[in-house]
Each structure stands twice: as structure tokens, then as C-alpha cells.
């Protein structure tokens, strides 16, 4: 045991216990450069636990009494625990081998094989970690001592000598780098980093473009045919003739354009004569009213719920309710799709319809109000 402070970096406190290995291992030759900035100072002690002050004055470590017992109290119990832990670890090893085996055996050639493969891989890997964890926990609980240890809290501030050394080293480094002496280097370096710093602000543009009036209209336009969604065939009122009928419709040419369909999807409903009560005064637009937006008791409503935009298409032909499955907003299809229950506040917009020269259902215009949920710029206009 040597306590010679030879070769210790400047500022190293001389007192304190010095372990043998450390003193010799970290000994630096005379004249060595100062410690490199950013590296931790050489540890004064490898001891995790707080030392008692006694016995350190002369640099000798205290011969302290053992805090952790070497052996568990009940050796028989420890033996049993040892076997259990070892068994857990062995099983974990086997499960790990099984994982590799499962990877080799279950080659996912078909959907069913993929299911088997996933199940086998997941089970074996899960078991491996579970058994490892369980073994470790049992080890800690039954073999390791249960002792409360206290580590003293020390001030975070470095001591004066360290702080002075840091300032000195820093200034030396700054001088040596010529950063202060050569302003052109300094300024061009700063100039080079400015665009990089500004770049994230510029990238915010990708959040746009602003929607502008995009939310106010859909792809529906006068004369655009309604297609029976799925089969994608145009519809004649004479074919869609059974009262109580309801189908999803999409604008012709946009049946695969999901961005367009997100706003333009509709349902059409066929009523028996006299079933639907129209309220012409509620939507007077350009001289024609809700009443002549329908064709032969067929009504077309937006499929997009006015609450938060879920597809509201659960139509009950007995009650004429259109239910939205997300938050149970319920609309009365026989009365202009007014809200009769739930969080929606506006009726489903109605698409004005007519028939074209060949007798197929077509849109008379776009929706006369924005479809779907409310938004700031929507206002109260209809």
C-alpha cells in the first residue's frame, strides 16, 4: 500500500483513501499534459459506500466491519432457492434455443404459417425473458441480503482547485485554437451554422399548405353520376326502387380516389311516397329547395358525420335513423337528416340530385354547405 501522491494531476486532493490498484494504475509520468477537458477526474475512491471518517487522516483506509453478511441465514433455504434459480436460468436457455429452432422450423410461406411462426417466436422469446427475470428476482429475494445502505449526499460544486484548472485549461485551449486571434475563422464558422439552425423553422412549411377553401367543397359537380359503391355502376331511379333501400354512392371517376371520397362519400335512401317530410324553408339555395333535390323519393345525404367525420351509414329503414357508430349521433333521414341524438350539432348535408338524359342519377350541384365536422373558418353559413 503506497500513499505517494507522485504524478497526481494538479488539484487532486491529497487526503482520502487511495486504493492500491488505482494509485499505481493511474500514475502519470512527470510533465504529462493536463487532464483532457470532458474526461472525468481520477476517482478518489472506488468505494461506493460512504467511508467513516476515522482512519483516513493518515491516508490509510479504515479497516471497517462488514456491512453485508457473506452467507444467508438459512443455508437449507438458500440451497433450495439456488436450485430454483438455476432451473429458471436453464429453462430460459432452453426457451432461447427453442426461439432459434422455431425461427428455423416455421418458415412463413402462408398466412397460417405466419400465425404459427409468430406464436412460436413470441412464446419462446417471452418465456426466455420471463424466466430470466423470475430467476433474477428469486435470486435477489432469497439469496441476497436485505440491508438498507445509505450513501451520503455531497455538494455538486467542484472544489476550487478543479474549477481553476478548468478555466486555465479552457483558456489555453482557446488560445491554442486561434479562435480568438483569427476573427475570419470565427465568423465564417458562425455563418456556416446559421442556416442549419434556421432549417427546422423552414421545414415547418411541410405542415401546410393551408387548406384555404378546400374544406368548403367536394368533387361533386353538376351532372356527375352517382355510382353504386363496390360494384361502381350508375343507378337509375327505377332500379333503386324498393322503399327501405339504402346504398353507399360515390362520384363517378373518383371511386378509387380516397382523398376525394373522404369528403364526397354519400348514401342514398329510397322512401315510400309520403314517408319523408321535407322542410323546403330550411335549405333555400339558388331558387330550388330541398324538395326538388330529390328524385322519385330518393334522397342523398353526405356519409360524413358532422360531429368528427366518421362514416355515418347505419341506416334503419323502420325508424329512418342514420346512426354514426363512433359517438352515436343519430340523424332522422325522413326529416332532412336533422340531429335527434348525440353530439353532432348540424344535419347531414344533402346532395341535390336529378337525372341525366340517360335516366341515371346525377348531382345537381356540389353540396351547398361544407360537409363533415365544424372548423374555425366554417362560420355559421349553410
Judged by the rule CB under 8 A, the positions of this chain that interact with other proteins are 69, 72-74, 77, 111-112, 115, 118-119, 133, 137, 140-142, 145-147, 228-231, 235, 238-248, 269-270, 311, 313-319, 321, 323, 325, 328, 330, 341
- State which residue, 65 or 286, has the beta carbon closest to other proteins: 65
CA atoms lying within 13 Å on the CB side of residue 25? 9
Q: Shortest distance, CB of residue 48 to other proteins, whole angstroms?
A: 19
Cell numbers at 271, concatenated: 322512401
Least distance in angstroms from the C-beta of 268 to other proteins? 10
* Structural contact between residues 304 and 316, judged by C-beta atoms closer than 8 angstroms: no
Residue nearer to other proteins on the CB measure, 128 or 365? 128
> How many Å apart are CA 11 and CA 9, to the nearest integer?
6
Contact 41, 64 (CB under 8 A): no
Nearest residue (CB) to other proteins, 312 versus 362: 312
For 65, list phi and psi in degrees, rounded to 5: -80, 155
CB of 320 to other proteins, least distance (A): 10
Rounded to the nearest 10 degrees, how much is the dihedral formed by the CA atoms of 104, 106, 109, 111? Answer: -150
User: In angstroms, what is the minimal distance from the CB of 117 to other proteins?
Assistant: 11
Note whether 240 and 295 are within 8 A (CB).
Answer: no
CB 133 → other proteins: shortest distance, Å? 8
**The C-alpha cell that represents 25 in the structure block:** 494504475
Q: Quick one: 18 or 298, whose CB is closer to other proteins? A: 298
Residue number, 27 or 78, with CB nearest to other proteins: 78
Provide the 3-class DSSP secondary structure of residue 334. helix
For the bound state, the minimum distance from the C-beta of residue 350 to other proteins, rounded and expressed in Å, comes to 18
Query: Which is nearer to other proteins, 16 or 245 (by Cβ)?
Result: 245
DSSP state of 56: -
Amino acid at each position: 500500500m503506497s500513499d505517494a501522491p507522485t504524478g497526481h494531476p494538479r488539484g487532486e486532493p491529497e487526503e482520502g483513501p487511495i486504493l492500491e490498484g488505482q494509485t499505481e494504475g493511474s500514475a502519470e509520468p512527470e510533465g504529462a499534459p493536463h487532464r483532457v477537458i470532458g474526461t472525468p477526474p481520477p476517482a478518489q475512491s472506488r468505494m461506493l459506500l460512504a467511508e467513516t471518517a476515522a482512519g483516513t487522516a493518515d491516508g490509510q483506509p479504515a479497516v471497517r466491519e462488514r456491512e453485508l453478511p457473506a452467507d444467508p441465514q438459512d443455508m437449507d433455504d438458500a440451497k433450495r432457492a439456488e436450485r430454483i434459480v438455476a432451473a429458471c436460468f436453464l429453462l430460459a436457455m432452453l426457451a432461447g434455443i427453442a426461439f432459434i429452432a422455431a425461427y428455423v422450423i416455421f418458415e412463413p410461406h402462408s398466412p397460417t404459417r405466419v400465425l404459427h411462426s409468430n406464436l412460436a417466436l413470441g412464446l419462446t422469446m417471452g418465456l426466455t425473458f420471463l424466466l430470466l427475470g423470475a430467476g433474477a428476482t428469486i435470486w435477489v429475494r432469497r439469496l441476497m441480503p436485505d440491508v438498507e445502505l445509505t450513501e451520503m449526499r455531497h455538494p455538486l460544486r467542484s472544489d476550487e482547485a478543479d474549477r481553476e484548472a478548468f478555466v486555465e485549461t479552457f483558456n489555453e485551449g482557446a488560445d491554442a485554437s486561434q479562435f480568438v486571434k483569427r476573427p475570419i475563422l470565427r465568423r465564417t464558422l458562425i455563418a456556416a451554422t446559421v442556416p442549419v439552425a434556421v432549417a427546422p423553422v423552414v421545414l415547418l412549411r411541410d405542415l401546410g399548405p393551408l387548406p384555404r377553401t378546400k374544406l368548403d367543397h367536394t368533387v361533386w359537380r353538376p351532372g356527375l353520376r352517382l355510382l353504386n359503391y363496390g360494384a361502381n355502376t350508375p343507378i337509375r331511379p327505377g332500379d333503386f326502387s324498393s322503399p327501405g333501400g339504402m346504398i353507399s354512392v360515390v362520384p363517378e371517376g373518383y371511386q378509387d380516389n380516397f382523398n376525394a371520397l373522404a369528403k364526397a362519400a354519400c348514401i342514398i335512401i329510397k322512401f315510400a311516397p309520403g314517408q319523408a317530410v321535407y322542410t323546403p324553408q330550411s335549405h333555400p339555395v339558388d331558387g330550388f329547395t330541398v324538395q326538388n333535390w330529390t328524385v322519385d323519393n330518393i334522397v342523398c345525404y353526405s356519409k360524413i358525420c358532422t360531429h368528427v367525420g366518421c362514416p355515418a351509414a347505419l341506416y334503419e329503414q323502420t325508424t329512418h335513423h342514420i346512426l354514426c357508430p363512433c359517438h352515436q349521433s343519430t340523424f332522422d333521414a325522413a326529416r332532412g337528416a336533422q340531429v335527434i341524438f348525440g353530439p353532432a350539432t348540424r344535419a347531414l348535408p344533402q346532395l341535390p340530385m336529378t337525372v341525366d338524359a340517360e335516366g341515371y342519377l346525377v348531382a345537381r350541384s356540389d353540396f351547398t354547405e361544407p360537409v363533415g365536422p365544424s372548423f374555425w373558418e366554417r362560420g355559421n353559413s349553410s
